[in-house]
Structure 1
Amino acid sequence: LRRAAESTAADYRALARHLRTGDGPPEVLPRPLDLGSLLAVAPPVPPAGTAPPARADSAALLVDSVIWLDALTADLARIHREM
């Protein structure tokens, strides 16, 4: 998740440089996320009462983070297509 976030941030920085300088669009197009591998590290949400709530909370936060990061990447790809 950290690598995917760093990659997405780098893609947004490249776009910002392009918009600031007016140079040609960034040569490197945004890389789509590998959602399968990101979600594969999410622990399964345990049945009620079988695990501490913190584990379920962590799994939910991870899934939420992946969805948010995917939306950012999709927005960036759409911006590139429209440039």
Structure 2
Amino acid sequence: MNLYDLKSAIEQAIGIVSWSPTESDLLKVAQKISSLSGATLTRNKLSEILSEIIDSPIIRSLNEGEDNTDLNTLLLMCLRVANDAKK
């Protein structure tokens, strides 16, 4: 699992159109999400996590409707990235 795939999944999950996270930022996001341990990942929670970690502006496109399939996929990706980082 690479960080580029994680970045793309995060962008798709909450409609990010412009941002500049570092590799370190993405790794911290993955670790934070993977530490939620049983909690449901929501778009709001993901936005909060990104705001805590990333200092640069994040520009999002807001759309109607909500499909959490992409968030479940993102959670699995974060678990893989966090586990790979421990190796």
Query: What interval of TM-score do these two structures reach, taking the shorter chain for normalisation?
Result: 0.3 to 0.5
Greater helix content: 1
| TM-score of the pair, normalised by structure 1 | 0.36
Q: Which has the larger radius of gyration?
A: 1
What is the TM-score normalised by the length of structure 2?
0.35
Bigger strand fraction: 2
Give the structure, 1 or 2, with the largest relative contact order (CA under 8 Å, sep 6 or more): 2
